[in-house]
Amino acid sequence: MALKESGSAALSATHSVLVRVAAVLALIAIWQLLVLARLWPPAVLPGPGQVWDQLLAASDSGNGQGGYAGSTVLERLGVSLRRVGYGTAYGVLVGVGLGLVMGLVPVVRAVVEPFVTFLRALPPLAYLSLLVIWFGIDEEPKVYLLLVAAFPPVAVATATAVTGVNRQYLEAAHALGANRLGVITTVVLPASAPEILTGIRLAVGIAYSSVVAAETVNGADGIGGMVLNAQRYNQTAVVLLGLVVIGVTGLLIDTALLALQRAVSPWRGRA
């Protein structure tokens, strides 16, 4: 018999998607109202309609400039998503591995945590220069920048989750004859999965919001590159288009991760 929770604190999956969609629609409505109020000239604050026109223009590869400055919005999005994908994937690997060791070995945590916190406090643009000196101006510095931005929240979330695993489960596992590796793979990691996924959601968000910074270096082919280019030529509508595309895809990715989190830990709050 399934237990029905009354007055559950969390929204159901469908509800949370609906709420997100409603929030986006509300934002667009407010934006349109601000434009209609004519507080600023259209060159400073273009309306949703203008940005939509830009989207259509920049998506048309046959418009004589291959979309916008050589690539369509979709191509640019693909390039940026690939960078974010690699950056966060490596960041998650490093973060989960490091966080696991930090959580299991208190000494390691005491030594490593200040460095992780230090890195976390740095804005990505601040260490970009260093990465460019070390790795040149190809893909590496961009992916490494996103890695460095992505791994600290994953490491901290993993370490905290691992330290917080219910001791009763660990003892039950030992009582059943589990060895250290068995306890880690069968108890510690699954028990920590919900918190680790929260860390990953944070990491994807941070990496994604750092993509513009990463693409200031030879990244004109990405969505961040488009924003930087448009800024140079005062194309406000294109800048806004870039922001909207980054924002909306970021929201979609986070929604997918949230669904994944619910799927892998249906037991959360129940046991």
Partner 1 sequence: MGEPLVELTGVAHSYRANRVDVPALGPLDLRVEPGEFLVVVGPSGSGKSTLLRLVSGFERPTTGAVEVLGGPPVPGRDVGTVFQQPRLFPWQSVAGNITTALRWAGVPGADRPQRTRGLLAQVGLVELGRRRTWEISGGQQQRVAIARALAARPRLLLMDEPFAALDALTRERLQEDVRSLTDGERAVVFVTHSVDEAVFLASRVVVLSDRPGRVALDLPVPLPRSGVPADELRGSAEFAALRGEVAGAVRAVAA
Q: Which residues contact partner 1 (rule: CB under 8 A)?
A: 1-3, 168-169, 171-179, 182, 186-187, 190-191, 193, 265-267, 270-271
- Residues 6 or more apart whose CB falls under 8 angstroms from that of 164 comprise 192, 195
Shortest spacing between CB 269 and partner 1, in angstroms: 10
Q: Whose Cβ is closer to partner 1: residue 148's or residue 161's? A: 161
Residue 37 or 175: the one with the smaller Cβ distance to partner 1 is: 175
Tell the smallest beta-carbon distance from residue 93 to partner 1 (Å): 21
H/E segment holding residue 109: helix 106-121
CB 105 to partner 1: min, Å: 21
Task: Quote the DSSP letter at residue 5.
Answer: P
Say if CB 265 and CB 30 are below 8 A apart. Answer: no
C-alpha separations of 77 from 167, 203, 221, 248 in Å: 45, 19, 9, 11
> By C-beta, is 52 or 169 nearer to partner 1?
169
CB of 127 to partner 1, least distance (A): 37
Q: How distant, in Å, are the alpha carbons of 68, 87, 224 from that of 33?
A: 28, 38, 27
> How far apart (Å, rounded) are the C-alpha atoms in residues 175 and 125?
50
Q: How far is the CB of 153 from partner 1 (least distance, A)?
A: 23
Give the separation between CA 78 and CA 141, rounded to whole angstroms.
Answer: 18
Q: How far is the CB of 191 from partner 1 (least distance, A)?
A: 7
- Complex with partner 1: residue 2 or 133, whichever CB lies closer: 2
Toward partner 1, which CB reaches closer, 88 or 158?
A: 158
10 Å Cβ neighbour count for 192? 26
Name the one residue in this structure whose structure tokens are 């490093």: 94
Between 114 and 177, whose beta carbon lies closer to partner 1?
A: 177
Q: Return left, alpha or beta for 218; rule: phi > 0 is left, psi -120 to 50 is alpha, else beta.
A: left
Q: Which is nearer to partner 1, 42 or 269 (CB)?
A: 269
Instruction: State the Cα–Cα distance between residues 249 and 211, nearest whole angstrom.
Output: 13
Minimum distance of partner 1 from residue 174's CB (angstroms): 5
Quickly count: other Cβ atoms within 10 Å of residue 77's Cβ: 18
